[in-house]
A = this chain, B = another copy of it.
Amino acid sequence: MQANYTRPLDLKRGRVDLSHGAGGRVSAQLVRELFARHFANPALDAGDDGAVLPAPGPGERLVMATDAHVVSPLFFPGGDIGCLSVHGTINDVAVMGARPLYLSASFILEEGYPLADLARIVESMARAAREAGVPVVTGDTKVVEQGKGDGVFISTTGLGALPAGRTLSGNQARPGDAILVSGTMGDHGMAIMAQRESLAFDSEIVSDTAALHGLIAQLLEAAPSVRVLRDPTRGGLATTLNEIASQSGVGMVLEEKAIPVREQVDAACELLGLDPLYVANEGKLVVVVPAEHAEAALAALRAHPLGSDAARIGEIVEDANAFVQIRTGFGGKRMVDWLSGEQLPRIC
């Protein structure tokens, strides 16, 4: 019957058009043949306005986190906006100490964007969600006219369960605590920059985008006294440490030579006049832990594939000004300020 006829979605040569966002027959088809097909899970498959989900266990609290993703380019060495939007939100849930359980995903598509590329993004997203064990249970799709968007924007929201008695927060750092990082700094941001600028070294630097909840679970088991976890994304390590210092009302002293940075990242930063401490990461952790458990925490990080380059990089000190300082290779000390202005637009 004519009324029910719809041409199948042309995932090879088709392009996003306004009808994909109109909420009618063509929208339903896009959800069915692309999104729901790849994200497949019982809550999403029900096809209702919201997903019905089991609540967390007794005594547990919820953790909710959200991020919009507007990275450009959409595909970069080591990842794409699809897996990035899964990893980024899982990480914000996981650094609160919670087990990530569910994701929502809302898409803003630009008219004319190739469906084939959208399909690659959705597949990557579905793979990341599957590997992390955190399904996309509900979604939304809107389309804006050509020139009013930029290909694909994805907002994800994550929901997790926080075990009773666990409190991780940026306000928990105390003088004497050790500061650790789970690996090398600046890989994600420099992978994007290299791709954008078509630099000669572009194939050598790869984004670190990864879901950190497995690493965090291992860390918290070995060192349950951990006080602060945070993922040093936009603004880099420098800004994340300043946030924690402000929230806790403490100072920090870092050892410059202890901070792990890949040689190629260092070289690329040099070339572009950037400081790796301000460059975004998407698969790294900052850990603040009482000094007496620092070595146990470090060992736990290093025992995980995502933490093999973990390092102890400094300590929390008393400082009413909440300054972050760094001891340089030459024995001097300088201030490490927040990122000011805009260094690398649309890095995530």
Contact = CB atoms under 8 A, between A and B. Distances in A.
A22 B159 contact: no
Given A55-B62, A96-B49, A144-B150, A337 B3 contact: yes
Given A22-B342, A46-B169, A96-B52, A155 B235 contact: no
Given A49-B231, A149-B150, A157-B104, A340 B26 contact: yes
B142 A68 contact: yes
For A22, A160, A231, A343, which residue has the most chain B Cβ atoms within 10 angstroms?
Answer: A22
Interface in A141-174: 141-145, 147-150, 153, 155, 157-162, 168-171
Contact of A22 (B66, B67, B234): B234
Contacts of A53: 61-64
For A4, A52, A149, which residue has the most chain B Cβ atoms within 10 angstroms?
Answer: A52
A27 interface: yes
A345 B22 contact: yes
Given A104-B66, A106-B66, A147-B147, A21 B52 contact: no
Contacts of A26: 340-341
A38 to B, nearest CB: 17
A345 B106 contact: no
Nearest to A5: B340
Given A47-B170, A50-B96, A339-B24, A65 B104 contact: yes
A105 B66 contact: yes
Contacts of A54: 61-62
For A51, A91, A231, which residue has the most chain B Cβ atoms within 10 angstroms?
Answer: A51
Interface in A237-264: 239, 243, 247
A312 interface: no
A65 B141 CA distance: 13
Give the 9 A-B residue pairs with the shortest CB-CB distance, closest first.
A23-B234, A24-B339, A50-B65, A157-B157, A155-B155, A23-B235, A66-B104, A68-B106, A25-B338
Given A24-B338, A51-B65, A53-B62, 4 more contacts: A25-B339, A47-B243, A52-B162, A66-B105
